[in-house]
Amino acid sequence: MNATVYLKHEISAAHWLEGYDGPCVNLHGHTFLIEVWCKGPIQDDGMVIDFKQIKDILNEYDHRTLNFVMDVQPTAENFAVLLLSKIPFAIKVRVWESGKAYAEVNLGDL
């Protein structure tokens, strides 16, 4: 049987947007709220994926400068794509850059 699990987690990270025409061209930080949906078979341990495993992946980016750990422009959109590709069973990732703005990617969008 399949199940969907959901996790909400915050990390703090810095970035700048190379060539951007505005203040985001400068180094600045965000407290990113990240939401992750994972769907898959319930394993023998009773879980699709351990929430700790998801948190461990997200925490790889905590207190980091995203420009130094991403191969593309570190926008919220690209960060969401990266996380979706790294988290097993992930079907959707939403990256909130502020309380008013987020980027979302779904497995079907890639």
Tens digit of each residue's pLDDT (9 = 90 or more) over 53-93: 999 999 999 999 999 999 999 999 999 999 999 999 999 99
| Annotated catalytic residue 10 | no
The candidate with the shortest Cα–Cα distance to 14, out of 91, 80, 90, 70, is 70
Q: Where residue 38 sits, what CATH number does that domain have?
A: 3.30.479.10
Question: Please, where are the H alpha helices in the chain?
Answer: 51-59, 76-86
Q: Which two tokens stand for residue 29?
A: 């930080």
User: What band does 109 get if pLDDT is binned at 50, 70 and 90?
Assistant: confident
| Annotated catalytic residue 24 | yes
Residue at 88: amino acid letter:
P
Structural domain boundaries enclosing 40? 2-109
The model's pTM: 0.96
Tens digit of each residue's pLDDT (9 = 90 or more) over 11-57: 999 999 999 999 999 999 999 999 999 999 999 999 999 999 999 99
Domain count along the chain: 1
Q: How confident is the model at residue 63, as a pLDDT?
A: 98
Active-site position among 24, 35, 77, 104: 24
Q: How confident is the model at residue 33, as a pLDDT?
A: 98
pLDDT exceeds cutoff 80 at 110? no
Active-site position among 15, 30, 38, 97: 97
